[in-house]
Amino acid sequence: MDKIRNVLVISYSQSGQLHEITDNFIQPLQDVDIDRIKYDPVDPYPFPWTSAAFFDTMPESVLEKPVPLKKISYKYSKYDLVIFAYQPWYLSPSIPATSLLSDKEFLARIEKTPVITLIGSRNMWLNSQESVKSRIIEAGGIIVANLPFADRNQNQISAITILHWMLSGRKVRKYRFLPLPGVSDKDIFAAKDFGKILNLAIYMNDLTKLQDEFVASGFIDLTAEIIFIEKKAKRLFRIWAAIISKYSKTQTRRRLLISAYKYYLFTALFIIAPIVMLFYKLLIIPFTLKRINREKQVYLRQIDSKCPYI
């Protein structure tokens, strides 16, 4: 492998959380020329979100419809390593991330190039990573590591707190007693530790063990509950997205369908999921532990057959 000299580091963030994770991750890198890019869509997504806009982005997120991005000025036409940081929206890459992954100039820069993906999520990044992975592989990129950051609080609690954050624009405690939303300060800071691991790998000129080291740290939290929910939910999101995009002939119709989706989402998240999870934990998990652990390893280590792991 050629010595790594030029590194492209690229992220989009509304609140600044993902930029901070990314900046911490690259802080320990020495002796490399870093091209740090923060990209944006031409028409910005609102932050704080209005409730209407927040739910209205579901169909286009799930259908992975790109939007125009502001012109990106790259320092080089090729890099020795690309660090691509993104966030999931509705179990899919965020629309800005999808747009970047559809951009010819960016795709040309990941061709035949090692890529590290960083994720700043609530706690559900599995489906979006499958999508990102296949787009990177299709463009000829080589994924060498994936480091997801997530909110470690209980699933329903983190949904309430993140919604409060997204709709208010303030990363504060809802009702004063709920936990802070999003990725914890401690985990955001810990990105530096992984940057040190990357720095050593660059020094040794060997990225092949990077993902094993990230996984061995025990930092990446992945529960059977999240695997279970993500598997079921994406299929349902796809159905909703297809219905909404097909039947929204007028704005009024679209608003009505988005509103129906919103109530479905709240019912699924706060009523159906807890009941189903209770049965799943009592009756299924004890008998399928081995399979679940195998699946977990595949997600953590990015080692499925589609992924050329160097």
Site string for ligand FMN, 152-171 (x = CB under 6 A): ----------x---x-----
Contact stretch for ligand FMN (CB under 6 A) within 29-37, 70-78, 88-96, 300-308: 88-96
- Residue choice 59, 88, 93, 114 for contact with ligand FMN (CB under 6 A): 88
Per the structure block, which two tokens stand in for 178? 């709920």
Which residues, including other chains, have CB under 8 Å from residue 181's CB and lie 6 or more apart? 151, 158, 161, 162, 164, 165, 171, 174
Strands 88-89 and 92-93 come out as antiparallel
Query: What CA–CA distance (Å, rounded) separates 211 from 201?
Result: 11
Does 84 engage in binding with ligand FMN (CB under 6 A)? Answer: no
Query: What CA–CA distance (Å, rounded) separates 146 from 210?
Result: 9
Q: Which residues pair with 122 in a beta bridge?
A: none
When the beta carbons of 169 and 308 are compared against ligand FMN, the nearer one is 169
Phi-psi region of 271 (alpha: psi -120 to 50; beta: other; left: phi over 0): alpha
> In whole angstroms, how close is the CB of 20 to ligand FMN at the nearest point?
8
When the beta carbons of 11 and 113 are compared against ligand FMN, the nearer one is 11
> In whole angstroms, how close is the CB of 43 to ligand FMN at the nearest point?
15
Query: What CA–CA distance (Å, rounded) separates 62 from 81?
Result: 28
Does 17 engage in binding with ligand FMN (CB under 6 A)? Answer: yes
Contacts with ligand FMN in 56-75 (CB under 6 A)? 57
Does 129 engage in binding with ligand FMN (CB under 6 A)? Answer: no
- The one-letter amino acid code at 276 reads V
Query: What CA–CA distance (Å, rounded) separates 27 from 29?
Result: 6
When the beta carbons of 14 and 99 are compared against ligand FMN, the nearer one is 14
When the beta carbons of 67 and 108 are compared against ligand FMN, the nearer one is 67
> In whole angstroms, how close is the CB of 192 to ligand FMN at the nearest point?
18
Among 255, 245, 223, smallest CA distance to 148 is for: 223
When the beta carbons of 124 and 202 are compared against ligand FMN, the nearer one is 124
Query: What CA–CA distance (Å, rounded) separates 138 from 145?
Result: 17
Which residues make up the interface to ligand FMN (CB under 6 A)? 13-15, 17-18, 54, 57, 87-91, 120-125, 162, 166, 182
